[in-house]
Amino acid sequence: MDKKELIRRALKAKKNAYVPYSGFHVGAAILTEDNEVYDGCNIEIASYSPTICAERTAIFKAVSEGHLKVKAIAIVGDANHTYPCGVCRQVIREFGKDATVIIANSEEDYREYDLDELLPHSFGPEDLKSADKEEKNV
C-alpha cells in the first residue's frame, strides 16, 4: 500500500469522528508489518478522560486482531498538519518504534517523519527488560 492510499483511508476515517464537544475531527490509518490496514477516528466522551484519539483507536483495533507491529501511520485532522499527542506518540512507540509517521492535510500535502523525530529519547519495552537485568545483577 502506498502513502497516498494510507492518507485516503485516514481522511475517510476522519469523517466518522465523534466530536460533539471540541468539533475537532481526526482520522488515522495504520499499516501493519503484514500489510493489513486499520483505521480509526477520535471519539469524545462528555467526561473527557475516557476520550480516545484516532491514532490509538486504529492501533488498538490492529492489536486486538493480533497485529503487533506498525510500519506506517497516516494522521489527518482539522488543523493544518495535525500531529499526534504525547500519549499517542507513546502508543505508536510501543507498536511501531521504526514506523513512518505521515502527517497529512491531503494526498498531495503531507510531511513524513521517523518516530524518533517526534519522540526523541523514548521509553519502551526494551528499557524495562534492561532494568530487570540490572536489578538482578545488584
User: Which range, of 54-63, 80-89, 126-135, averages the lowest pLDDT?
Assistant: 126-135
Catalytic residue numbers, as ranges: 55
What's the whole-model pTM score? 0.91
Predicted pLDDT of residue 40 = 98
Whether the per-residue pLDDT at 33 is higher than 90: the answer is yes
Predicted pLDDT of residue 129 = 84
Q: How confident is the model at residue 135 (pLDDT cuts 50, 70, 90)?
A: low
* CATH value of 3-136 in 2.60.40.3500, 3.30.70.260, 3.40.140.10, 3.40.50.920: 3.40.140.10
pLDDT digits 0-9 by tens, 46-59: 998 899 999 999 99
Whether the per-residue pLDDT at 100 is higher than 60: the answer is yes
| DSSP helix, strand, coil percent of the chain (3-state; round to 5) | 35, 25, 40
Average pLDDT of the chain, as a whole number: 94
Domain ranges of the chain: 3-136
CA distance 94 to 71: 12
| Percent of the residues in the chain that have a pLDDT greater than 90, as a whole number | 88
Edge-first strand order for the sheet with 110-114 is 37-41, 26-32, 70-77, 100-104, 110-114
